[in-house]
Amino acid sequence: MNENSYPIINLEKITYSYPGGPPVINELDLKFYHGDRIGLIAPNGNGKTTLFHIIMGLLKPASGKIEIFGKSVREERDFLDIRRRIGLLFQDADDQLFSPTVLEDVAFGPLNLGRSKEEAIEISRKTLNFLGLAGFENKITFKLSGGEKRLVSFATVLAMEPEILLLDEPLTGLDNQTRGKIIDILLNLDISYILISHEIDFLAATTKQIYTMENGMILSDEKAYIHKHDHIHQFGTIPHKHM
């Protein structure tokens, strides 16, 4: 079968509630294909982060079907492979970073994937260079600024050479320069992703479809969300279309 002909992430009627709470995800369907770049925009508390955690197997839905890379995933061991192949950039960088130094944090993933120490260091250095973080190797992770932490988090994800990225509000709290950097990186990466953000211009610049979430479900009515508008372009020269 051609890799484009079936969804690489296929969620059917997924329902999830936190203990004692109402369903946050409610009979949600999502099909994500190779080459997709989906933006997800919805008010706080609508279940966007929960959805990402379900895809990664960090939360287990009460009901519904999850197929990823053409295989049904249910058990914890099914998700081990998924977590190697899908990179999640956590909404909070402090959930992502746990090693004393930047290099150790970035090398952790490749080492975990079975790379030698030398290979892991080489990949980490390359990734840090790619993100403009050369020279950060020996910095103490917890002393970094918010923007630096976000970029190092991104490095830890990219160093695992994932096939898909799930990016949870990557621009939050970043200065304009770092925001521009992240946008450039996304535009230059040859990778499929789902990107959560509250910023329509950012999504318009970096994604091909924009979905929203309401009542625990995904709505894909793009027309309702992309509209003509006048604004000053925060990101300068990044080309993007308005519909």
Ligand X SMILES: Nc1ncnc2c1ncn2[C@@H]1O[C@H](COP(=O)(O)OP(=O)(O)O)[C@@H](O)[C@H]1O
Torsion of CA 160, 166, 169, 173, to 10 degrees: 0
Give me the least distance between CB of 217 and Mg ion, in Å please. 16
Interface pick for Mg ion out of 49, 124, 192, 197 (rule CB under 5 A): 49
Nearer Cβ to ligand X, position 18 or 142? 18
Interface pick for ligand X out of 23, 30, 48, 153 (rule CB under 6 A): 48
Give me the least distance between CB of 72 and Mg ion, in Å please. 27
Q: How far are the Cα atoms of 32, 81, 86, 169 from residue 2, in angstroms, in the given order?
A: 15, 21, 20, 32
- Nearest to residue 213, comparing CAs of 10, 23, 6? 23
Q: Which stretch binds ligand X (CB under 6 A): 42-50, 81-89, 134-142, 224-232?
A: 42-50
Q: How far are the Cα atoms of 53, 89, 150, 168, 225 from residue 95, in angstroms, in the given order?
A: 12, 9, 11, 12, 30
Q: Which stretch binds ligand X (CB under 6 A): 39-47, 82-90, 148-156, 229-237?
A: 39-47
Interface pick for ligand X out of 10, 49, 192, 206 (rule CB under 6 A): 49
Between residue 3 and residue 22, which ones bind ligand X under the rule CB under 6 A? 18, 21
178 binds Mg ion (CB under 5 A): no
Q: What's the CA gap between 149 and 97, in Å, rounded?
A: 8
Interface pick for ligand X out of 47, 57, 147, 162 (rule CB under 6 A): 47
Give me the least distance between CB of 5 and Mg ion, in Å please. 32
Residues whose CB is less than 8 angstroms from the CB of residue 16 and which lie 6 or more positions away in sequence, other chains included: 23, 24, 25, 47, 50, 54, 59, 60, 61, 62
Nearer Cβ to ligand X, position 133 or 157? 157
Q: What's the CA gap between 111 and 108, in Å, rounded?
A: 5
The residue at minimum Cβ distance from Mg ion is 49
**Which H/E stretch holds residue 72?**
strand 71-72
Give me the least distance between CB of 155 and Mg ion, in Å please. 21
The binding site for ligand X (CB under 6 A) comprises 18, 21, 24, 42, 44-50
